[in-house]
Amino acid sequence: MTTPGAAPLAPSRPLLGLGRPELEQWAEQQGQSAFRGRQLHEWLYAKGARSLDQITVLPKAWRQQLAEHPPQGAADWLGRSRELHRSVARDGTTKLLLGTADGLSIETVGIPAEGRLTVCVSSQVGCAMACRFCATGKGGLQRSLAVHEIVDQVLSVREVMGERPSHVVFMGMGEPLLNSEAVLHAIHCLCTDLGMAQRQITVSTVGVPKTLPSLAERALERLGRAQFTLAVSLHAPDQRLREQLIPTAHAYPIEALLADCRRYVAITGRRLSFEYVLLGGLNDQPHHAEALARLIRGFQSHVNLIPYNPIAEEEFQRPSPEAVAAFRRALQERHIAVSVRASRGLDADAACGQLRRRLEGELTTRSRSHSSP
């Protein structure tokens, strides 16, 4: 059914990710009043509606008309995902596998802790960076996520866990700096429309040449200030070792990466953190800590040590608790601010990309066994 005289619907993107003014404008373009846009905003963000059907305050005829012309890249105008699988660890860490409109799957994790709920979001489906210890990198990149698919992850965790997320970290699947427009737009939406604080958001990158200073500038431009935390996945104290772990490091010398980090700090005025995955026997020895301390001496930064989470395909070792403690001590003695990331939800396939790989493995095995004669 179509409303007589209504303007034809231009092909468009899903509504999730749009702010109040854009939704008002969109409603007006559809021949409705701006008030309808404000209702959409409330139902999308505050009430977490999953589909247009649920927004019963909107005129039925309009909803039906919209349903006949879904936007590009989504089955419904709101742009919400489908939950494909949920796995909950003993500590409450909840990993969701979400289905996109084009049949791909994304991982997102809710991590509860004293007084906070952190959502670890994906910025891409798969990843092109192929870091050797990372499960996501094994399958390559399918595509970047759109803004609605990033914001949806935060709403999905809120819905499943029944709690408002306080923190968001872009540490799920993908390399955020290869999808920085959508990432910045999603940050804007999380802050403006979901009321999160930019300081509670972290963007983690392994480093893409020539992108850090421009990220800082665009963040200032788009968000008014760049207060989210930038976390740089360093993982090694020198170029040779870094290249062994991170194939893309060949094209980005560690000195150039650090120079870009310094420019980022100068532009934003924020200190950044360095992430360092500790791989048993490989980069976790005291001499590595000493070299790391020399490398980042005087840098306004914080080091976050991440004991390796074993993944099926690789032969890396988890570092011993003694090695982790000694590494941390060696940095502290050299006045480097350091923390160790607690292993959360190991029984919920906590390492990046693992749930998806395991389920895809199962699904392929299952479909193979179904199709075999």
Q: State the residues that interact with ligand SAH by CB under 6 A.
A: 129, 131, 133-134, 171, 175, 204-206, 233, 275, 277, 306, 308-309, 311, 351-352
Q: Is the distance from CB of 62 to CB of 52 less than 8 angstroms?
A: no
State which residue, 188 or 242, has the beta carbon closest to ligand SAH.
242
CB 302 within 8 A of CB 339: yes
How far is Cα 299 from Cα 336, in angstroms, rounded to an integer?
9
Q: In whole angstroms, what is the distance from residue 245 CA to residue 231 CA?
A: 18
Q: How far is the CB of 306 from ligand SAH (least distance, A)?
A: 5
The structure tokens listed for 245 are: 């772990």
263-286: b (≥16 Cβ within 10 Å) or e: ebbebbebebbbbbbbbbebbbbe
Q: Is 107 annotated in the active site?
A: yes
Tell me how far, at minimum, the Cβ of 121 lies from ligand SAH, in Å: 10
Measure CA of the first residue to CA of the last residue in the chain; give whole Å. 47
Q: Cα dist. 50→64, 77, 176 in Å?
A: 16, 10, 26
Inter-residue contact 160 to 152 (CB < 8 Å): no
Q: Which is nearer to ligand SAH, 132 or 262 (CB)?
A: 132
- Catalytic hit among 24, 107, 149, 175: 107
Buried b (16+ CB within 10 A) or exposed e, 350-372: bbbbbbbbbbeeeeeeeeeeeee
Tell me how far, at minimum, the Cβ of 298 lies from ligand SAH, in Å: 23
Nearer to ligand SAH by Cβ, of 129 and 212: the residue is 129
Residue 246 CB, shortest distance to ligand SAH, in Å, is 8
Using the minimum distance from each CB to ligand SAH, give the nearer residue, 43 or 274.
274
Tell me whether residue 22 is one of the annotated catalytic residues: no
Report helix, strand or coil for 25.
helix
Toward ligand SAH, which CB reaches closer, 150 or 311? 311
CB of 342 to ligand SAH, least distance (A): 12
Pick the catalytic residue from 134, 175, 352, 360: 352
Catalytic positions, written as ranges: 107, 352
